[in-house]
């Protein structure tokens, strides 16, 4: 598979021929179930789009039955930006229903398989995007990251996945899960492609009230993998990680030292606080955002004898079990008598988490962290909701703090599956994030 950088130099005829070859390759690997629709929009370089990002005249369902039949009337801002730069949306990527999951098994379209080992999950919720890139049936893809929905899939599939700073990439046209956490980001074959795609989608958007109005300098044209950085490591974080993850972490630290980076030790709050604050916040926002799916305005409608019955039947039939679970949890923490005890307290903890990161960044340029406690799980292994929630323990704090982070492959575990680690940067310092990641990627290749 050619890289995104290489594709940008193709002629119009070469792009057309490549698109036809790609269709044949997608058909040959359809058992991965990474694509859930082969819509096309434009004739540029083909880019796979997660099924919760609006593309005009496409069916966009968020992997849910309740949105079957909905056709998007507009393009998301990231899609407008991509089209302006010669890229064209090409196919919808499978995902966990409404991005609520860590395995891409909860999609209405069925589970996606990991191309490295089809007995394993590709991670979630952007599992279709990651599996397609890793499987050689997409140059690159867009995903969304609410609590780790880009980074674990990238780690499980052995590719690069990047979550931007909250507010750096427009959320206009992204199907909302948790509005204060969601961010669109790239999944690519390498770090340089991730920087290129990030540049294409980043920037201020007046249509998005959470978009930050500040000057933007492209990062891909200023990449400097030779920069020497102070990188914080988190030894106490390893206690919950598998032996393979721990070994990869220690080995990567040695690679960073050999590059000339200064390694310092740091501590963050115990991940149990991250998990508690995240699932209170995310489910509360989800219950509010998903209230719009009522069977009346768009999507699937069940027949009821009155308005209330129509609402109840439509939502009962349209939503999957995990989505229902999170709506109920969200309604509970927002309910009278529990709002202060749960939601307000979670926001206070969220602030402490952000301050914790800020303290580390007073002396460090980047933080090195695990992405997941294990390599890719076997299909069906995370049926217990609590186990699934705990699998995101290393990623959700970054969303709570609104920071940028990038997962890249650093090795192979004993079971043959990829191991990914993530670098975390201060808010809006994506340049340092990509510089450090590219330097590490180059060193690992060497």
Q: Is there a contact between 365 and 432 (Cβ–Cβ < 8 Å)? A: yes
The catalytically annotated residue of 72, 102, 149, 369 is: 149
Calpha distance 399→11 (Å, rounded): 39
β pairing state of 366-370 and 418-424: antiparallel
Active site residue 125: yes
Calpha distance 186→405 (Å, rounded): 11
Calpha distance 252→440 (Å, rounded): 8
Instruction: Detail the DSSP E strand segments found in 189-324.
Output: 230-233, 262-265
Calpha distance 168→164 (Å, rounded): 6
The catalytically annotated residue of 106, 107, 125, 126 is: 125
Token reading at 233: 């490591």
Cα separations in angstroms, 242 against 15, 65, 235, 245, 393? 43, 36, 13, 5, 13
Calpha distance 249→110 (Å, rounded): 34
Q: Is there a contact between 193 and 4 (Cβ–Cβ < 8 Å)? A: yes
The b-or-e profile of 317-344 (16+ CB within 10 A means b, else e) is: ebbbebbeebbebbbebbeeeeeeebbe
Token reading at 10: 């193709």
3-state secondary structure of 160: strand
Active site residue 179: no
Calpha distance 288→308 (Å, rounded): 18
Active site residue 303: no
H or E, element range at 441: helix 430-445
**Furthest CA-CA distance within the chain:** 71
The catalytically annotated residue of 29, 50, 111, 163 is: 50
Task: Give catalytic residue positions.
Answer: 50, 125, 149
């Amino acid at each position: 598979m050619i890289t995104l950088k290489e594709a940008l130099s193709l002629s119009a005829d070469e792009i057309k021929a490549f698109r036809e070859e790609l269709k044949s390759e997608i058909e040959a690997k359809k058992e991965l179930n990474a694509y859930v629709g082969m819509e096309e929009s434009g004739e540029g370089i083909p880019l796979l789009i997660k099924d919760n990002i609006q593309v005009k005249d496409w069916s966009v369902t968020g992997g849910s039955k309740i949105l079957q039949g909905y056709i998007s009337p507009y393009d998301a801002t990231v899609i407008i930006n991509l089209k302006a730069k010669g890229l064209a949306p090409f196919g919808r990527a499978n995902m966990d229903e409404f991005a609520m999951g860590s395995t891409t098994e909860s999609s209405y379209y069925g589970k996606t398989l990991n191309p490295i080992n089809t007995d394993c999950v590709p991670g979630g919720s952007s599992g279709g995007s990651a599996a397609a890139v890793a499987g050689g049936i997409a140059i690159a893809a867009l995903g969304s990251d609410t609590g780790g929905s880009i980074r674990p899939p990238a780690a499980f599939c052995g590719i690069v996945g990047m979550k931007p700073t909250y507010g750096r990439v427009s959320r206009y046209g992204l199907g909302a899960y948790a509005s204060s956490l969601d961010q669109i980001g790239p999944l690519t074959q390498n770090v340089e492609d991730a920087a290129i795609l990030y540049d294409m989608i980043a920037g201020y958007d007046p249509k998005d009230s959470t978009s930050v109005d500040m000057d933007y300098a492209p990062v891909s044209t200023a990449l400097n993998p030779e920069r020497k950085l102070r990188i914080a490591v988190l030894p106490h974080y390893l206690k919950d990680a598998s032996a393979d993850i721990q070994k990869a972490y220690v080995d990567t630290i040695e690679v960073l030292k050999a590059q000339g980076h200064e390694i310092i030790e740091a501590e963050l709050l115990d991940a149990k606080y991250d998990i508690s604050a995240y699932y209170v916040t995310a489910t509360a926002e989800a219950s509010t955002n998903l209230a719009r799916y009522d069977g009346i305005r768009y999507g699937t409608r069940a027949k009821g004898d009155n308005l209330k019955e129509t609402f109840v039947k439509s939502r009962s039939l349209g939503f999957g079990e995990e989505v229902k679970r999170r709506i109920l949890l969200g309604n509970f923490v927002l309910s009278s008598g529990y709002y202060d005890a749960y939601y307000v307290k979670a926001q206070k903890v969220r602030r402490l988490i952000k301050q914790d990161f800020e303290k580390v960044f007073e002396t460090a340029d980047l933080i090195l962290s695990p992405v997941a406690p294990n390599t890719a799980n076997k299909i069906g292994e995370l049926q217990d909701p609590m186990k699934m929630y705990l699998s995101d323990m290393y990623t959700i704090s970054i969303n709570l703090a609104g920071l940028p982070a990038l997962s890249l492959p650093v090795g192979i575990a004993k079971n043959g599956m990829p191991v990914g680690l993530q670098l975390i940067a201060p808010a809006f310092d994506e340049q340092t994030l990509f510089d450090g990641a590219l330097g590490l990627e180059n060193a690992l290749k060497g």
